[in-house]
Structure 1
Amino acid sequence: MQLNISAPVNPDLIVPKDFVRGCPRTVRMDIDHLLLAIEALDLEAVEVMLALIEQLGLEKTIPSRVAFWRLRNTNPLRRNYQRSSLDWDELKALVKIACAIAKQFDTGLRLLISTYQQVTEGKIEALGLQQNQFFLEGYIDRFRSLYIGRMRSPAPLNNEEIGELALQQLTRLLISSGTAGEYRLWNSLFDGAIA
């Protein structure tokens, strides 16, 4: 996947006052699940994310592949959970990476979300969109496989719940793909989080 990186919108991502003690566990879970969804959408996504670290000038915050892996493993549901938290600069870096990729996925995300709506309304066959349904199911299957492979065993969610989580990430990625994507994603991560 080739990314066109222009100067990304960089709003001030302000830490809500209630969370000055550190990054909540739900936020660490949510950002990791979002990056997992990116991996399910593009099999080369991890390499793209690593390339973006340099392109976005984030090397001081994420200096290596191992450092990136450790950040992902601050998700307490992970099999290789690192018993540490994300600092705010690390979370901001992951938000920047997710939004840069989401911008490139915008059209595909809209297609997958509209396909899901058509599936739930029973319109796929009438519209002749079985191929779109195949792509959606493929994404959900890949997400499920990644989730089961990476999270602790037994998996914290059942198959149906993992599928619902995969679909939720599509919407979160879509809100991250616009011009104010970083700001929107940042705020959505804290929505409902407990300090």
Structure 2
Amino acid sequence: MSPSLSTMADSNSSVESKPIILDVLPDFAISGQRCAGRIQQHIDLLLLALEALELGASEQMLATVKHFNLEKIIKNRIALWRLRSTNPWRRAYTRDTLTIEQAKALVIIANYRVKPLTVQIRQLLLAEQQMQQKGLPVTCHFLLAEYLDQFRAHFRSRMNPRRAKVSVYLGSEEELNQLALFLLKQLLFCTGTAGMQRFWISLFDGEVA
């Protein structure tokens, strides 16, 4: 095979090996094609909220990896854990940085998993509004309290209390509840028209010149 044909074949192989689903999210010209820590943190927290909503969420995430042929990016459960451990707030923080493709894969997983939960999320946010209107704590609503309990449990077990912001959340149940509710609204945002793309672009606000 001539050098030109060999190069062409390698190029075609590279294109074919890239999961097509990644193309639904735009690329950005950022330094080193690596994500900032705050982006990694945001994505992981969004997945944490999903875990508080859906029983067996980790298994469902891995099933989604297979569904979209993302195994070259996320090979197995350990690989998924390592990608999520790029969140600087994690106890098991790896100090690694996500590539654009890895970040895209995690956002796609989050978006796909949240779709079946749309009605549930709307009900929880409506319950929050009703509790506020009645002047009652959000924990007075059974289903909302259940989600908040799950989120707080996940957060406390996985985040590093030596991180300043984490210690603030751990020291205030109200602050942690507000974070959980904020992430719930972010998940609902992802379910809207072009929600995944809009959420993805919002992650890089201020990162792209």
Superposition TM-score tier, normalisation by shorter sequence: 0.7 to 0.9
Shift of 1:137: 1.0
Output the CA distance in 2 between the equivalents of 1:189 and 1:120: 29
- Structure 1 residue 171, shift from structure 2 partner: 0.7
2:155 counterpart residue number: 147
Question: Larger relative CO (CA 8 A, sep 6+): 1 or 2?
Answer: 1
1:42-61 aligned at under 5 Å gives the runs 42-61=54-73
Distance 2:57 2:159 in 1: 19
Does structure 1 conserve the Cα–Cα contact (< 8 Å) formed by 2:43 and 2:107? yes
- After TM superposition, list the pairs within 5 Å mapping 1:128-147 onto structure 2: 133-147=141-155
Contact residue 26 and residue 194 of structure 1 kept, 8 A: no
The equivalent of 1:97 in structure 2 is 109
Q: Aligned runs of 1:23-42 on 2, under 5 Å? A: 23-42=35-54
Distance across 2 between alignment mates of 1:163 and 1:193: 28
Aligned length: 182
Equivalent in the alignment of 1:174: 188
CA contact under 8 A between 2:148 and 2:177: conserved in structure 1? yes
TM-score by length of 1: 0.84
Report matched runs for 1:100-111 at 5 Å: 100-111=112-123
Distance 1:12 1:33 in 2: 20
Cα distance in structure 2, aligned partners of 1:132 and 1:192: 38
Q: Unpaired runs of 5+ in structure 1? A: 1-6, 125-129
* Partner residue in 1 for 2:202: 188
**How much has 1:140 moved relative to structure 2?**
0.8
Q: Which has the higher helix share?
A: 2
Check the 8 A contact 1:8/1:100 in 2, yes or no.
no
Can you list the C-alpha shifts for 1:121-174, whole angstroms capped at 9, x where unaligned? Answer: 1178xxxxx999210111011101100100013543232221111001111100
Q: Distance in 2 between matches of 1:75 and 1:131?
A: 28
SS in 2 for 1:137: helix
Q: With the length of structure 2 as denominator, give the TM-score of the two structures.
A: 0.79
Q: What RMSD in Å do the two structures reach over aligned CA positions?
A: 2.6
Q: Give the SS at the match of 1:176.
A: helix
Separation (CA, whole Å) in 2 of partners of 1:136 and 1:119? 10
Change (3 A) 1:78 1:9: closer
